[in-house]
Amino acid sequence: MLENLSNGPSCLVLLIDDQRIIGEAIRRMLSYNLEIEFHYLSDPTLALDTAKSITPTVILLDLVMPGIDGLSILRALRADPATSTVPIIVLSSEEEPKTKAEAFSLGANDYLVKLPDRVELIARVRYHSSAYRALKERHAAYKALAVSQNKLCAELVEASKYVRSVLPHPMRTPFFTEWVFQPSSTLGGDSFGYFHIDEDHFAVFLVDVCNHGVGSALLSVSVMNALMGQTLDGVNFRQPLQVMSALNRVFQMEKHNNLYFTLWYGVFQRSTRIMSFSSAGHPPAVLMKEHEHELLDVRAMPVGALLSTQFKLGETLIPSGSRLYIFSDGIYEVLKQSDGSMLQFNEFVELLEKPEIKEGQKVYEVLEAVKTIQGAKEFEDDVALVEIKL
């Protein structure tokens, strides 16, 4: 494709015609316009090389020339990527419909009977030059946009890899943990973790930041790092209410690009088997016992929404062998392929209640079941599901 149009005259004309008298006549017609630069070529065999060399904004092409006719040159110009979009005005000694039709079918942009009127010639040269420049600018803009989008996609992939890399590894002792994490098509805001506070206390949490994109992902990772690193000043991480209140102070939405997040945070005490927990706008955790399930749910506004939010504390006894599931709402807020209705929360819980097909694969089996229900492998929202066998 032709480039560097912005540095030259607004109209750069190349006339290809074996008759020098025609070349001189056209030159005089255009010579009074400073915005038009005129080039003349009498040897039609050099047409393609000359056009590629001077990069015209309009080519004036005679149809009848010795050795090689204008239609053959027209084909060659349209076949070469460097000249395929340059406007070509065909010049002919007569206005013959059949010749016109053939010229247009081969890619001519316009047709003039020579010698044309000076005013008309200048108007058409200006029109086609302007359209060609606009076309080149659009192509340049699309190319720059494609480069930018490719770069952004690569950065999002790297960011997604980073988010996954900082998620905790599955545990096998003293507790069994397993999880699935599937981001949506755009970078999202789900993260989760678990860690030993001391020998007797084990914490688990899941964060879901509103919206999608880099900002949501960065905020999610910041919250995860604050919890995993236990870096909130003056906070006893064994106390869920202290954790919630501290996060709400630090991550007020007006200081974080109007982003807020939901959170479920629980602490399991091994000596008493008591789970203390708090929630901020998050789906309840599901505790699967031997013959029943329990929803671990207390209600409060999402973290960062209101500085005055009062969080609530819940407690429950964890029988030996129980399984705790925490998750983001993306895993159950899906549309059923069967009737287009939304999968209900209790229907999702029923999936958790079903016996495992294969030991240790429950979270994967639930994920695949939801994919089957919605009839798609991709999700509209981030999906995170964590299982902890206590």
Which residue from 77, 55, 24, 57 is spatially nearest to 126, judged by alpha carbons? 57
Question: Are 39 and 111 within one domain?
Answer: yes
Indicate whether 309 belongs to any domain.
Answer: yes
The average pLDDT across 237-249 equals: 98
Residues 6+ apart with CB under 8 A from 17: 23, 26, 40, 41, 42, 60, 61, 62, 65, 91
Q: What percent of the chain has pLDDT over 70?
A: 97
Q: In degrees to the nearest 10, what's the CA dihedral of 149, 153, 158, 162?
A: 120
Q: Does the pLDDT at position 113 exceed 60? A: yes
The average pLDDT across 70-97 equals: 92
Rounded Cα distance, 227 and 244, in Å: 10
State the sign of the Cα–Cα–Cα–Cα dihedral 297, 301, 303, 309. negative
Question: Are 209 and 82 within one domain?
Answer: no
Question: Are 183 and 133 within one domain?
Answer: no
pLDDT given for residue 7 in this prediction: 53
pLDDT in tens, 209-234: 998 777 888 899 999 999 999 999 99
Q: pTM (2 decimals)? A: 0.68
174 preceded by a cis bond (ω within 30 of 0): yes
Q: Does the pLDDT at position 6 exceed 90? A: no
pLDDT given for residue 5 in this prediction: 44
Which comes out higher in pLDDT, residue 311 or 153?
A: 311
Question: Are 337 and 243 within one domain?
Answer: yes
Question: Are 132 and 275 within one domain?
Answer: no
**The domain that contains 188 carries what CATH number?**
3.60.40.10
Indicate whether 265 belongs to any domain.
Answer: yes
pLDDT given for residue 8 in this prediction: 55
Query: Could you tell me the residue range of the domain that residue 80 belongs to?
Result: 5-140
Question: Are 198 and 302 within one domain?
Answer: yes
Structure tokens at 143: 């190319």
Indicate whether 147 belongs to any domain.
Answer: no
pLDDT given for residue 84 in this prediction: 94
Q: With contact defined as beta carbons under 8 Å apart, do 358 and 364 qualify?
A: no
pLDDT in tens, 297-309: 999 999 999 999 9
Q: Which residues of 190-221 are buried (b: 16+ CB within 10 A; e: fewer)?
A: bbbbbeeeeeebbbbbbbbbbebeebbbbbbb
pLDDT in tens, 364-377: 999 999 999 999 99
Rounded Cα distance, 99 and 169, in Å: 75
pLDDT given for residue 310 in this prediction: 96
Question: Are 296 and 369 within one domain?
Answer: yes
Number of domains in the chain: 2
Question: Are 111 and 213 within one domain?
Answer: no
Element (H, E) at 264: strand 261-269
The mean pLDDT of the chain is 91
Q: Does the pLDDT at position 171 exceed 60? A: yes
Element (H, E) at 279: strand 274-280
Indicate whether 92 belongs to any domain.
Answer: yes
Question: Are 170 and 34 within one domain?
Answer: no
Indicate whether 150 belongs to any domain.
Answer: no
Q: How many C-alpha atoms does 4 have within 13 Å on its Cβ side?
A: 6
pLDDT given for residue 33 in this prediction: 82
Q: How many C-alpha atoms does 104 have within 13 Å on its Cβ side?
A: 9
Indicate whether 160 belongs to any domain.
Answer: no
Which comes out higher in pLDDT, residue 183 or 58?
A: 58
